[in-house]
Amino acid sequence: MDYIPYNIVLCRYGELALKGKNRKRFENQLKDNMRHKLAGLDIKVYSDRGRMYIRSKDREPFTPEQVDGISVRLKKVFGLVSFSFGLHSEPTMEAIEATIREHFPSFLKKYEGQTDIPYRMKARRGDKRFPLISRDIEIHFAEVLLSEYPQLKLDLSNPELLVSLEVRTEHAIICLDRIQSYGGLPSGSSSRALVLLSGGIDSPVAAWQMMSRGTRLDFLTFHSYPYTPIELLPKVAELTRVLNKYQIPGKLYACNLAEAQKVIRDTCEEKYRTILYRRLMFRISERLALMKDLEALVTGESLGQVASQTMRNLHAINRSTDMLVLRPLLGMDKDFAVKIARDIETFEISNIECADSCTVFMPDSPITNSPLHFIEREEEKLDNDALIDMCFQTVSQVDLATGDETLITEIEEPEKKTK
């Protein structure tokens, strides 16, 4: 990118502006999240009537490191729709024109040698006392610039060089490019939840979808060490680190299912194993969620994708908990989930081959269509509370930097008894 001495970033947030009475709360949350995300870059974040701004603390142009840091990190802040680097000016025609004239040669650098460069300006006048209306500002600059730079061609519908000008009472901002972010709601603006995070493709995408609605997440993964490889935890820790870039960071917990899986293997009919494992996973997740004050569970289940995700099986799994279970991928095609996974940079990690708990003692042909009462009858052969207790003893918190575990020693009794 050719060097343009940008000294302000204008950030737009669409959906938030519609939130009526909650608006202030959402804006404050967004501002906090932006500050947190941009910490260490020596910048200042502030808001003013429906916009968020970033400037360097000394009001000097951003350094290339600041430009890179802001570009990369801001894209991951939910709640922002788009942002643009800009040049700050006093809100008078003379000052705006002087700024544009000074920097226009830099704006044109990337079109060197080109003729008929499609140009337009889009002006927005926030302060109605400004002497010219938006259209007249646009016409003025078209006249000035087209006469000075014959390589420009006015193109109102499809401009390549689009100069945006925003005039407000206290400043004017001149921007070129608009960087799209994901929109949604700021992290922490709705309730907290626990994601059942496997090493697969879907659950990280499900987590990301829920984060985009402002839900703050903690993560729980099930492994079956020594039947699953030791590499599984560092892999899930890496997924969590990537996902945490999109939210106020959450914790990763791990639970070892191996002993309980052996009991199920030795006690119950083989074809029910997968469903029984999953009902157990849900009950353990519910207990952890209640203990940590998290209000819902999130999974990457998608209707019809695998044997455990037929409608009947989903129902059977669902009946193991009273908690709200959010399944944002339920109606999503795998291709689309993969597209998101690539975009949010979890795909490569998920794709690393690594067996997880579901594959341990897998039945040759898992049941896909069993009525609930058959499953419940099979489960009656087990002492469920004892199994949950046994697994819960293994719940640990995972160090996200290393993938090492620390047992959670102070396991309190949840307020609500698991089923």
Question: In the complex, which residues of this chain contact ligand ATP (CB under 6 A)?
Answer: 196-198, 200-203, 221-222, 299-301, 305-306, 308-309, 356-358
DSSP class per residue in 214-255: EEEEEEEEEE-TTTS-TTHHHHHHHHHHHHHTTSS---EEEE
| 72-88 per-residue burial string, b: 16 or more CB within 10 A, e: under 16 | ebbbbbbbbbbbbbbbb
Instruction: State yes or no: residue 198 binds Mg ion (CB under 5 A).
Output: yes
Q: Among residues 144 and 355, whose Cβ is nearest to ligand ATP?
A: 355
Q: Shortest gap between Cβ of 235 and Mg ion (angstroms)?
A: 13
Q: Among residues 198 and 302, whose Cβ is nearest to Mg ion?
A: 198
Among 79, 91, 184, 200, contact with Mg ion (rule: CB under 5 A): 200
Q: Shortest gap between Cβ of 363 and ligand ATP (angstroms)?
A: 14
Q: Which CA distances in Å does 194 have to 31, 142, 260, 285?
A: 25, 54, 22, 8
Give the residue closest to Mg ion by C-beta: 200
Strands (E), 250-346: 252-256, 296-298, 324-326
Q: Shortest gap between Cβ of 130 and ligand ATP (angstroms)?
A: 53
**Sign of the C-alpha dihedral computed for residues 346, 348, 349 and 352 taken in this order:** positive
Q: Shortest gap between Cβ of 328 and Mg ion (angstroms)?
A: 16
Q: Among residues 167 and 193, whose Cβ is nearest to ligand ATP?
A: 193
Q: Among residues 66 and 198, whose Cβ is nearest to Mg ion?
A: 198
Tokens 């600059």 -> residue:
141
Q: Shortest gap between Cβ of 207 and ligand ATP (angstroms)?
A: 9
CB under 5 A: which stretch of 63-71, 97-105, 118-126, 199-207 binds Mg ion? Answer: 199-207
Query: Which partner, Mg ion, ligand ATP, none, binds residue 91 by CB below 5 to 8 Å per kind?
Result: none
Helix runs in 351-410, H state only = 372-379, 384-392
Whether a cis peptide bond, with omega within 30° of 0, leads into 226 is yes
Q: Shortest gap between Cβ of 311 and Mg ion (angstroms)?
A: 18
Query: Which partner, ligand ATP, Mg ion, none, binds residue 316 by CB below 5 to 8 Å per kind?
Result: none
Q: Among residues 77 and 220, whose Cβ is nearest to Mg ion?
A: 220
Query: Quick one: tokens of 190?
Result: 């709705």
Q: Which CA distances in Å does 315 have to 105, 239, 311, 387, 414?
A: 64, 28, 6, 22, 25
Q: Shortest gap between Cβ of 326 and ligand ATP (angstroms)?
A: 10
Q: Among residues 152 and 197, whose Cβ is nearest to ligand ATP?
A: 197
Instruction: State yes or no: residue 346 binds Mg ion (CB under 5 A).
Output: no
Please name the helix (run of DSSP H) or strand (run of DSSP E) that holds residue 163, with its range, or none: strand 161-167
Query: Quick one: tokens of 226?
Result: 């020594």
Query: Quick one: tokens of 56?
Result: 């360097």
Query: Which partner, Mg ion, ligand ATP, none, binds residue 382 by CB below 5 to 8 Å per kind?
Result: none
Q: Shortest gap between Cβ of 200 and Mg ion (angstroms)?
A: 4
Query: Which partner, Mg ion, ligand ATP, none, binds residue 196 by CB below 5 to 8 Å per kind?
Result: ligand ATP
Q: Among residues 61 and 200, whose Cβ is nearest to ligand ATP?
A: 200
Distance CA 218, CA 258 (A): 22
What three-state secondary structure class fits 117?
Answer: strand
CB under 5 A: which stretch of 53-61, 196-204, 338-346, 393-401 binds Mg ion? Answer: 196-204
Closest to 250 (Cα-Cα) out of 223, 284, 220, 209: 220
Q: Shortest gap between Cβ of 419 and Mg ion (angstroms)?
A: 24
Query: Which partner, ligand ATP, Mg ion, none, binds residue 166 by CB below 5 to 8 Å per kind?
Result: none
Query: Which partner, Mg ion, ligand ATP, none, binds residue 300 by CB below 5 to 8 Å per kind?
Result: ligand ATP
DSSP class per residue in 97-115: HHHHHHHHHHHHGGGTT--
Q: Shortest gap between Cβ of 361 and Mg ion (angstroms)?
A: 15
Q: Among residues 27 and 202, whose Cβ is nearest to ligand ATP?
A: 202
CB under 5 A: which stretch of 25-33, 180-188, 190-198, 394-402 binds Mg ion? Answer: 190-198
**Is-contact 205 243, C-beta < 8 A?**
no
Angle at 63 between CA 179 and CA 174, to 5 degrees: 45
**Is-contact 311 305, C-beta < 8 A?**
no
Q: Among residues 86 and 199, whose Cβ is nearest to ligand ATP?
A: 199
Q: Among residues 152 and 281, whose Cβ is nearest to ligand ATP?
A: 281
Which residues lie closer than 8 Å to 164 by C-beta, 6 or more apart?
Answer: 84, 86, 121, 122, 123, 124, 174, 175, 176, 178
Binding site for Mg ion (CB under 5 A): 198, 200
